[in-house]
Structure formats: structure tokens, C-alpha cells
């Protein structure tokens, strides 16, 4: 099944997809279930099924990113036979296959024997044939692997530890669900001596954040990082999927978390060579004005950059000041996001990521520079933590022995300048040395391995501090308008003007025409239509402030003295509005995650059960109160017409702009789910299939009123047009202007000299100015008539009126009419 090591794919690389449909595989939706909807996906118009990880993960895994065995397809999903049957079903319907690959980490299972490689390391230590698979600092724990699995200090857990000699594989050490190998020849020792004799050291689970001596995924100690920069490890972890590509069963790959790798560029080069140049995208999170490194051998990103840009296009920047005033008045929180993000990153660097910072400090202890040698551990940790906190992006891209890229050098310099303002004067010399070492600065002793290791490890630590500090902490602490609190986004920046969007789309068409675009993923904080609903608030900030004040007053009467923190309450009201109608169970799940991610009154590590119970009682009372729930429902209904405009406009823009258009499972109709695990639930395809059939039968109508039917119409027609005319959507992009008093409320562009996308933006403002009022589209010269593929309506050119174009739907997709 696998191609020989080092041999490229035997099948010529297929063309890039036109579109994809993301499927979250899990035990309740495996390979056979995916095969069963192949006909529906083809009818929808997608060209490729886009699969979450398919290798053997932890038993029962609901996401697949916790791989334990790279040599097998997931038995939980249907195994090899089920996979082949699924691909055959896709092929019968003309669908390609994209697979998700996880090169950065694998799971530490319980029992630990499920991960053969890690089991070997636990048994044999540095002498294991698999010791090179993992980034383990053996010196930090006297040649042992720290294993933080105990419920408390080892002495208090001794009664739950037992040696089991009954198995056929040799003696093992048992602790609840954990089953650990016993070093050969030590099973006869008394338990205290036996524990000291192992190649691992058992510790309380809390020690994972302070004493861990191996690299992990972010702060998750059940996911151990893998050294795919080693050619042998690369071959072992990629062989099965590359073999399936060589057979023609997989057409493209999505690379998970490339920023965790030692050398992302080198990894992508090797992957491209082995995959025969197949279409590959990377889950690279771009921050602010950051751009994808131009020397990466890939087609682009998984689309968070386009998501943030499209969302901003439908959010009114004029709402920034009044929304900020209302938010600060309600919560007492800072009026700017920057200080909140900085404080959260600093907390992470000094908290859950301390073990990684200490590892960097141990490397710096080898430096001959007196500016470092004279520092105690506290000061050295402070310098590192401040530099990590100040990093404005996920990481730099420094390859030891090579000159640093200009963008990386500028990033490190900017971070050092920022950290300099936070550190006391006696540490500034040390900061300069550390910043230079982070860029792989040459000098005396350049050949010393610790220098290269520090440059790599520092970059691998930047990403977790950014992700855990911003996405998983600050986003839950600053809730001015949570539709902007999205991965890769800038919550402090409310909107994007059409000119900026056009420039972004033109750059994609020029530099990354086969990148992915998306509006929802398995990791978004809330799905696309929930964000589209919240975006309306930027146009009506006074109405929102008044409404949320009423809700607060009513809830205070229901649960006096049992209020969550003000920002959490403000976040909750937006979550309820965004996802309405929402069940008490979904609300409770979201609220638990939000409170613990914020890490203010409670956290995952130190939950405050009394506070959480009070917050849950508050939310439950709000949902159970007929008056309050009716008020939320009425407000959601009142903004529904404008929310509809945002939803349909954002979807059509995303599906027709440059890039491979992805639809996240179920979001071809209204997507109102919140952060995982809410957004990873099973999708009922029967009503979607029936609704699409009804729309097709209606020939130009939506078959039924409501957002679901209209969005499914827009999605299917746009995807089918892409599939039928790939030459139109493969490259060219040109803005199409409008003329008239309401020109600022339309965004339009042409693809391939043919298809024209027309969408309405900021609908409340448009209505307030009296509608389109003589505004017309300045259609390109050529066709005198245009047909809207969404409705079948024809429009005369060369300047069709916006009132006519948006008469039935607030969007249009025009093609030349004969």
C-alpha cells in the first residue's frame, strides 16, 4: 500500500480542487456514512470531499487529531476496507478526496501501549529505537521522561500503583487506566525502588506545566510532539497516506499546525517531493498584515485569512466607538483589546507554558555571554517570557545556518523593542542577546548545537503562547463584538472597507490562486451565520446597548447576587443571540468552556465549582424565564432581515472569490453553532437533501421561505458554476464598481472575465438612507444582458440597477446572457 521511502507518487498530481466539503469523521459518522452522502455532495456542486484525520486515533476520538498509530486507517471509522469503499463511492460521483494530516504530534494514550513508539521510550529510555521520534530533554530529569499522570503527589498515590505480572507481554505498572511498561529486570524491586529505576518519573498532573521535559502540542500533555524533521520519522508517519496518494485514492492534503514544526518550509518541500506536487494547504494562522512565506511549497492556507477579511466586509466600522462605550460601560473592561491580549499572553508564558520557557532557559545557560550567565533563573525567565509575550505573530521562520528571512528579522526586532519597554534596565543587555540568538545569530561557537536548538525551540514556543494567550484566553476576556473574536482576527479592529477587500482578493488571485477560503471550520469560535447575526449589532449599537441592559436587569431580578463576571455575562448574551434558539444543554457547555478559557474566576486547572454553579444558574434562569427568553427571541427576529443579508452576502463572496471554496459540514444552510465541541456534532443530511431537491424542482425559486433555503440555493448554484466553469474561477479577479448614492453598500467583482458577484453590505445603513435610490452597477463592457444564476432573472446592461439586481435576493451571481 505504501510507496517506497523517498519515491514520489506514481500517479500524476491531479488538478487543484474547485471546492471542498469538510466532513468531521467520528465513530457516529464514519467512512460508510460519508460514502452514503456522496450523491448529495455531488448534487451540491462540490468537487472534493475534505476529510478530518483518517489514521488510527484514540479509541472513540471525536476529531481524529490524537493519532496513536500512523500505520493503520482508523478502525473506529471503518478501517481500510471502509476507506476504500468510501473513496470508490466518491469516485462514482466524480468527487476527489482531501485528507487531513497531523505531522506535529500524536497522542499519549491510556493504556500507553496504544502508542507503540512512546511505549518503547518509556520501557527503554534513551536507548529505545524510537527515542529520536520525540523532543525529549533527557538531562532535565536525570535521563528520565516526566510522566504527569498522577492525581496528586506520588507518595499520596502509592496505594493506587500496582505491578501486574500476569500479562503475556511482561510485567506492567498499573495506575487506574494507565498501563506502563516496567524496565526489564526491575519488577522484583520494592515499589519505591522500582519507580526510581524506571526510564520515566511519575508526577502529579500539575507538574506538566512546570517540569515537563518533552515538547507537546500547546499545553496538552496527552499530545506529544513528533520530530518529523528526521527523515525516518517522516517516512514512518507519512508512509500510509503517501501510499494512498500513490494509488490515486487521495488527491490533496491539509497540513495541521505547521507552525509547531522545527522547519515548516523544509517539511513542505519534503512533502511536495514525496506527494508528487499534489495540492497541499496548511493550517497557517496569519496575524494582522502578515503574509504566508512566499517560499513555502504549498497552495496556501486553510482560509482563516479570508474568513476574517470577509467577515470584516459585512461589519460596520462606524460602530466601533459606540460599541466600545457600551461594552466598557457594562463591564468596566479596557476599551482596547491589545492590553488584554498582552496580559493573557504573559499569563500563559508564566503559567501553563512555564516548562517550555524553562527549557529555553536551560539552553541559554550554555551561552558564554556574561549578560546571560550573570542572571538568576527568575530574571532569565522574565526576559524570555516578555519576548514571547511581545511576539506579534505566531512565530518567525528561522533555519539555523541560513540568513533569517527579512520578515522574520523584522518580527523579532519588533518583539524585542516591545519587550524592552516592559523590562527593567539591568535586563536589556540580556534581551538583546536572546533576540539575536532567536534569529540564529552567528558568532564564536556557532557550531555549538545548543545555538541551533535554541533558535528552533524558541520559534516552536512562540506559537503556543500566541494561540493559548489570544485565541484561548483573551478572546474570552474581551467581548465588545464577539463575531470579530475569530482565529487570526483582530478583535480591536471592527470592519474592512471594500477597497481593502479587493486588494486582498487580487493578491490571492495573483500569488495564491489555489489557497482555501472558508467561513466555518471545526475550530471557529462560532459558525458563520452566528457571526453574521452579531455583525448587525455594529450597525445598531444603541439598540443593542439598550436591549442587553434590559436583559441584564431582568436576569438580576431572577438570580440576585448570583451573577457571572461582567465580561462573561456580556459574552453570554451575545452567545445566546448568535445561536438562538439554543438549548440549555448547549448553553451550559459553551458557558463552561468560556469561563474556564478566560482563566479569571475559574479555569480548567483550578475550577471554582461555586462560581461556575452560580453562573450556570444565571444562564438557566434566563433561558427558563418566559419574559426574558421572549425578549431575546424578539430581538433575534427583529435583526433577522439584516442578518440574512450578511449571511447570504458573506457566503457568496467566499464561494466566488479567489481560492478553493470550502463548505464546512452542514453550513450550506444556516450555521449557528458555537465553539467546539458544539460545532463538531453530527449533521442530519436527510432534510438538506430533500430541500436541495425541492429547490432544484422549483427552477429559479427557493422552494421554501427562510435562510436555509436561500443559503442552500446560493451555495449550490455558486458551487455548480465553479465546477462547470473552472477556467472562470482559476485566476483573474477584477473589482466591479457601482455608481450612485448607495454605492458604498455594494461589493461586486468579476471572475475570469465572465461571472460577476454582487452582494449587499451594511443593510441597516442602506435602509436608513432610503434604499438603492438610483444606484447602478457599472458592469464591464461586453454583454448587453446578464442572467442571475441564483434566480434565473435576466438584467439589461451595461448599468443594471441595484434595486433590480437585488429584488428577490440581496445578492446576485451574474453570467453573460445570450
Of the pLDDT bands very low, low, confident and very high (cuts 50, 70, 90), residue 174 is very high
pLDDT of 91 over the 60 cut: yes
Q: Which CATH class is domain 112-223?
A: alpha beta
Q: What's residue 560's pLDDT?
A: 84
pLDDT at site 780: 84
Average pLDDT, the chain: 95
Q: Which residues pair with 760 in a beta bridge?
A: 746
CA separation for the pair 148, 132 (Å, rounded): 21
Res 445 pLDDT > 70: no
Tell me the three cell numbers of residue 135.
523532543
Whether the predicted pLDDT of 151 surpasses 50? yes
Cβ contacts of residue 154 below 8 Å, gap of 6+?
A: 195, 202, 203, 204
Q: How many Å apart are CA 25 and CA 33, to the nearest integer?
A: 9
Those residues with Cβ within 8 angstroms of residue 739's Cβ, 6 or more apart along the chain or in another chain: 775, 776, 778, 799
In the numeric block, the cell 500503583 is attached to: 161
CB-CB contact of 115 with 109 (8 Å): yes
Q: What is the pLDDT of residue 784?
A: 81
pLDDT at 3 over 50: no
pLDDT at 448 (0 to 100): 84
Q: Which residue spans within 205-296 are E strands per DSSP?
A: 216-217, 220-225, 252-255, 279-282
Residues with Cβ within 8 Å of 156's Cβ and at least 6 positions away in sequence, in order, are none
Non-local (6+) Cβ contacts of 148 within 8 A are 203, 204, 205, 206, 207, 208, 211, 212, 221
- Contact criterion met (CB below 8 Å) for 34 and 665: no
Q: What's the alpha-carbon Rg for the chain, to the nearest Å?
A: 27
pLDDT at position 11: 52
DSSP labels, 434-447: HHHHHTT---TTTT
DSSP code per residue over 51-91: EPP-EEESTT-SSS-SEEEEEEE-TTTTHHHHHHHHHHHHH
Identify the band that residue 700 occupies on the pLDDT scale cut at 50, 70 and 90: low
Mean pLDDT value across residues 154-177: 94
Least confident of 372-381, 631-640, 661-670, 715-724: 372-381
Pick the closest to residue 75 from 22, 29, 30, 23 (CA basis): 30
Given a cut of 70, whether residue 139 has pLDDT beyond it is yes
Q: How far apart are CA 666 and CA 368, in angstroms?
A: 58
- Is 99 buried (19+), middle (13-18) or exposed (0-12) by CB count in 10 A? buried
User: What does the alpha-carbon distance between residue 51 and residue 48 come to, in Å, rounded to a whole number?
Assistant: 9
Q: Look at the domain 541-637 and name its fold.
A: Arc Repressor Mutant, subunit A (1.10.10)
Residue 4 has pLDDT above 50, yes or no: no
Rounded to 5 degrees, what are φ and ψ at 126?
-60, -20
Partners of residue 739 on adjacent β-strands: 776
Cell numbers given for 386:
516578555
Query: How far, CA to CA in Å, does 446 sit from each of 369, 408, 433, 789?
Result: 13, 20, 14, 63
Domain ranges of the chain: 19-104+228-302, 112-223, 338-471, 541-637, 733-816
Please name the residue that has the C-alpha cell 506536487: 277
Q: H or E element: which one contains 238?
A: helix 231-246
Q: Of the candidates 1, 2, 19, which has an alpha carbon nearest to the alpha carbon of residue 662?
A: 19
What does the block give as the cell for 566? 461582567
Residue 444 has pLDDT above 50, yes or no: no
Q: Identify the pLDDT of residue 167.
A: 82
Three-state SS at 776: strand
Question: Tell me, what's the pLDDT at 22?
Answer: 98
Contact between 145 and 122 under an 8 Å Cβ cutoff? The reply is: yes
Give strand pairing partners of 214.
136
Is the pTM higher than 0.85? The answer reads: yes
Burial profile 276-298: b = 16 or more Cβ within 10 angstroms, e = fewer? bebbbbbbbbebeebebeeebbb
**pLDDT confidence bin for 688, thresholds 50/70/90:** very high
Segment 466-489, tens digit of pLDDT: 999 999 999 999 999 999 999 999
pLDDT bin (cut points 50, 70, 90) of residue 373 is confident
The CA distance from 189 to 187, in Å, is 6
pLDDT at 13 over 80: no
| Neighbouring-strand partners of residue 180 | 173
Segment 253-264 shows an average pLDDT of: 98
The residue-averaged pLDDT of 170-192 equals 96
Neighbours of 628 (CB within 10 A): 20
What angle, rounded to 10 degrees, do the helices at 541-558 and 566-579 form? 110
Q: Distance between CA 301 and CA 12 in Å, rounded?
A: 23
Alpha-carbon span 574 to 571, nearest angstrom: 5
Residue ranges in 657-706 assigned as alpha helix (H): 685-698
Report, in this order, helix, strand and coil percent for the chain, each rounded to 5. 50, 15, 40
| pLDDT at residue 7 greater than cutoff 60 | no
DSSP-assigned letters across all residues of 156-211: HHGGGEEEE--STT--EEEETTEEEE--TT-TTS-HHHHHHHSSEEEEEGGGGGTT
Contact 227, 71 (CB under 8 A): no
Give me the pLDDT at residue 2, please. 36
Residue 236 has pLDDT above 90, yes or no: yes
The DSSP letter of residue 10 is: S
The gap between the terminal CA atoms of the chain, to the nearest Å, is 51
DSSP string, 312-324: HHTS-GGGHHHHH
Residue of 125, 143, 139, 149 whose CA lies nearest to 207? 149
**Per residue in 480-517, pLDDT tens?**
999 999 999 999 999 999 999 999 999 999 999 999 99
Tell me whether the omega of the peptide bond preceding residue 798 falls within 30 degrees of 0, making it cis.
yes
The pLDDT of 569-577, averaged and rounded, is 98
Torsion angle defined by CA atoms of residues 761, 767, 770 and 772, in that order, rounded to the nearest 10 degrees:
30
Question: 19-104+228-302: which CATH topology?
Answer: TIM Barrel (3.20.20)
User: Kind of pairing, strands 811-816 and 755-760?
Assistant: antiparallel
Amino acid at each position: 500500500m505504501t510507496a517506497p521511502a523517498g519515491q514520489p507518487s506514481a500517479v500524476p498530481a491531479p488538478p487543484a480542487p474547485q471546492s471542498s466539503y469538510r466532513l468531521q469523521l467520528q465513530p457516529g459518522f464514519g467512512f460508510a456514512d460519508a460514502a452514503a452522502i456522496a450523491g448529495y455532495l455531488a448534487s451540491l456542486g462540490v468537487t472534493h470531499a475534505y476529510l478530518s484525520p483518517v489514521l488510527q486515533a484514540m479509541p472513540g476520538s471525536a476529531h481524529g487529531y490524537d493519532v496513536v498509530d500512523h500505520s493503520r486507517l482508523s478502525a473506529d471509522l471503518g478501517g481500510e476496507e471502509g476507506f476504500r469503499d468510501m473513496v470508490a463511492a466518491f469516485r462514482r460521483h466524480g468527487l476527489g478526496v482531501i485528507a487531513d494530516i497531523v505531522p506535529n504530534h500524536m497522542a499519549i494514550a491510556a493504556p500507553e501501549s496504544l502508542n507503540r513508539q512512546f511505549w518503547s521510550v518509556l520501557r527503554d529510555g534513551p536507548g529505545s529505537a524510537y527515542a529520536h521520534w520525540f523532543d525529549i530533554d533527557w538531562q532535565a530529569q536525570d535521563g528520565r521522561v516526566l510522566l504527569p499522570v498522577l492525581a496528586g503527589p506520588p507518595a499520596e498515590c502509592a496505594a493506587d500503583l500496582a505491578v501486574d505480572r500476569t500479562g503475556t507481554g511482561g510485567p506492567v505498572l498499573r495506575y487506574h487506566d494507565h498501563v506502563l511498561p516496567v524496565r526489564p529486570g526491575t519488577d522484583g524491586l520494592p515499589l519505591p525502588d522500582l519507580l526510581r529505576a524506571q526510564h520515566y518519573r511519575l508526577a502529579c498532573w500539575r507538574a506538566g506545566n512546570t517540569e515537563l521535559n518533552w515538547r507537546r502540542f500547546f499545553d496538552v500533555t496527552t499530545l506529544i510532539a513528533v520530530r518529523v524533521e528526521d527523515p525516518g520519522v517522516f517516512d514512518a508517519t507519512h508512509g500510509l497516506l503517501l501510499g494512498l496518494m500513490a494509488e490515486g485514492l487521495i488527491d490533496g492534503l491539509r497540513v495541521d499546525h505547521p507552525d509547531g514544526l522545527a522547519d515548516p518550509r523544509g517539511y513542505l518541500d519534503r512533502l511536495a517531493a514525496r506527494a508528487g506536487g499534489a495540492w497541499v494547504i496548511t493550517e497557517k494562522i496569519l496575524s494582522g498584515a502578515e503574509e504566508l512565506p512566499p517560499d513555502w511549497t504549498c497552495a496556501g492556507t486553510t482560509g482563516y485569512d479570508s474568513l476574517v477579511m470577509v467577515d470584516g466586509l459585512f461589519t460596520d466600522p462606524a460602530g466601533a466607538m459606540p460599541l466600545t462605550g457600551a461594552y466598557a460601560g457594562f463591564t468596566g473592561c479596557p476599551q482596547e483589546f491589545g492590553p488584554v491580549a498582552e496580559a493573557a499572553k504573559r499569563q500563559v508564558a508564566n503559567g501553563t507554558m512555564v516548562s517550555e520557557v524553562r527549557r529555553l532557559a536551560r539552553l541559554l545557560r550554555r551561552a558564554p555571554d556574561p549578560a546571560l550567565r550573570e542572571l538568576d533563573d527568575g530574571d532569565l525567565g522574565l526576559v524570555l517570557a516578555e519576548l514571547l509575550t511581545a511576539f506579534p505573530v505566531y512565530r518567525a521562520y528561522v533555519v539555523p545556518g541560513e540568513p533569517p528571512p527579512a520578515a522574520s528579522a523584522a518580527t523579532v526586532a519588533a518583539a524585542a523593542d516591545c519587550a524592552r519597554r516592559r523590562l527593567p534596565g539591568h535586563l536589556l543587555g540580556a534581551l538583546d542577546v536572546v533576540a539575536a540568538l532567536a534569529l540564529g545569530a552567528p558568532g564564536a561557537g556557532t557550531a555549538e548545537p545548543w545555538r541551533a536548538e535554541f533558535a528552533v525551540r524558541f520559534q516552536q514556543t512562540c506559537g503556543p503562547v500566541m494561540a493559548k494567550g489570544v485565541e484561548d484566553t483573551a478572546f474570552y476576556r474581551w467581548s465588545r463584538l464577539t463575531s470579530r473574536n475569530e482565529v487570526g482576527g483582530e478583535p480591536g479592529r471592527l470592519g474592512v472597507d471594500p477597497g481593502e477587500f479587493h486588494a486582498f482578493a487580487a493578491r490571492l488571485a495573483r500569488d495564491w490562486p489555489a489557497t482555501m477560503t472558508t467561513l466555518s471550520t471545526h475550530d471557529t469560535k462560532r459558525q458563520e451565520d452566528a457571526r453574521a447575526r452579531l455583525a448587525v449589532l455594529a450597525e445598531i449599537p444603541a439598540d443593542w446597548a439598550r436591549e442587553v441592559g434590559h436583559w441584564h436587569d431582568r436576569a438580576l431580578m431572577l438570580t440576585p447576587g448570583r451573577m457571572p463576571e461582567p465580561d462573561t455575562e456580556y459574552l453570554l448574551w451575545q452567545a445566546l443571540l448568535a445561536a438562538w434558539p439554543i438549548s440549555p444543554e448547549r448553553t451550559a457547555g459553551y458557558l463552561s468552556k468560556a469561563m474556564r478559557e478566560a482563566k479569571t474566576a475559574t479555569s480548567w486547572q483550578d475550577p471554582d465549582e461555586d462560581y461556575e454553579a452560580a453562573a450556570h444558574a444565571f444562564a438557566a434562569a434566563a433561558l427558563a424565564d418566559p419574559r426574558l427568553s421572549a425578549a431575546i427571541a424578539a430581538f433575534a427576529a427583529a435583526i433577522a432581515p439584516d442578518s440574512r443579508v450578511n449571511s447570504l452576502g458573506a457566503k457568496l463572496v467566499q464561494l466566488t472569490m479567489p481560492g478553493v471554496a470550502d463548505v464546512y459540514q452542514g453550513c450550506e444552510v444556516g450555521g449557528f453553532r458555537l465553539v467546539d465541541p458544539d460545532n463538531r456534532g453530527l449533521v442530519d443530511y436527510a432534510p438538506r437533501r430533500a430541500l436541495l431537491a425541492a429547490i432544484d424542482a422549483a427552477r429559479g425559486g427557493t422552494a421554501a421561505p427562510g435562510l436555509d433555503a436561500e443559503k442552500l440555493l446560493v451555495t449550490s448554484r455558486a458551487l455548480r458554476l465553479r465546477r462547470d466553469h473552472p477556467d472562470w474561477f482559476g485566476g483573474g479577479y477584477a473589482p466591479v464598481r457601482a455608481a450612485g448614492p448607495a454605492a458604498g453598500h455594494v461589493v461586486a467583482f468579476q471572475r475570469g472575465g465572465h461571472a460577476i458577484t454582487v452582494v449587499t453590505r451594511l443593510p441597516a445603513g442602506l435602509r436608513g438612507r432610503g434604499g438603492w435610490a438610483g444606484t447602478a452597477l457599472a458592469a464591464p463592457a461586453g454583454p448587453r444582458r446578464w442572467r442571475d444564476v441564483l434566480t434565473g432573472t435576466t438584467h439589461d446592461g451595461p448599468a443594471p440597477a441595484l434595486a433590480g439586481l437585488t429584488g428577490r435576493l440581496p445578492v446576485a451571481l451574474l453570467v453573460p446572457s445570450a
